[in-house]
Amino acid sequence: MVRASEMSIRVLRVENRFVRDDRTLTHLCLVSRALGAEAIYLEDVEKDILGTVAEVNKTWGGTFKVILGEPWKTVLKQAKAEGRKTVHLTMYGLPLQEVIDQLRRLDKILVVVGGPKVPGKVYHEVDYNVAVTSQPHSEIAALAIVLHEIQSGEELRRNFASGRLKILPSPKSKKVVEST
């Protein structure tokens, strides 16, 4: 099993240009960042999202990156060339609980997240098609659970360096401290 701190995890969103939904893309970016991925690839996106993520990095720390404009085929090809295994999330795939032990042994991973109509080719070109239940729900939720499981929950303890603000966890209130 590879420790979360020694994993390199990236996320690729395969987009459908006809049903673009910037709110969902923002969630995918922030979830990827908060749960330990180092970057997300978006094929095409409003510049707003770059600004949102830059602002979150500045305020809350870390070096998470949004990489724009690479076609999904190029990203998959690059991943393979650098020995990165590709894991596509789909309700049609193999149950997460059956493949999780294999995924935890990988050190370089590209998690591929589709929208409503992913090209059939994606299913064939990835190393794993993985289902978080065989029920329809949310690519945001599926991504969260897969990042969480691959890292065995260690991502919840991750430290984000150089942020302006930091939360002091509290049972009943909001406590935030400013970095000095």
Half-sphere exposure of 99 (CA within 13 A, CB side): 17
User: Per-residue DSSP letters for 118-166?
Assistant: --HHHHHHSSEEEESSSS---HHHHHHHHHHHHTTTGGGG---TT-SEE
Residues lying near a copy of itself in the complex (CB under 8 A) are found at: 21, 23-24, 27, 30-31, 33-35, 56, 60, 90-98, 123-124, 128-129, 131-138, 140-145, 148, 153, 155-158, 160, 166-167, 169-176
The residue (of 17 and 23) whose beta carbon lies closer to a copy of itself is 23
The residue (of 83 and 169) whose beta carbon lies closer to a copy of itself is 169
From the CB of 145, what's the least distance to a copy of itself, in Å?
A: 5
From the CB of 11, what's the least distance to a copy of itself, in Å?
A: 12
The residue (of 13 and 129) whose beta carbon lies closer to a copy of itself is 129
User: Residue 78: CB partners within 8 Å, gap ≥ 6?
Assistant: 70
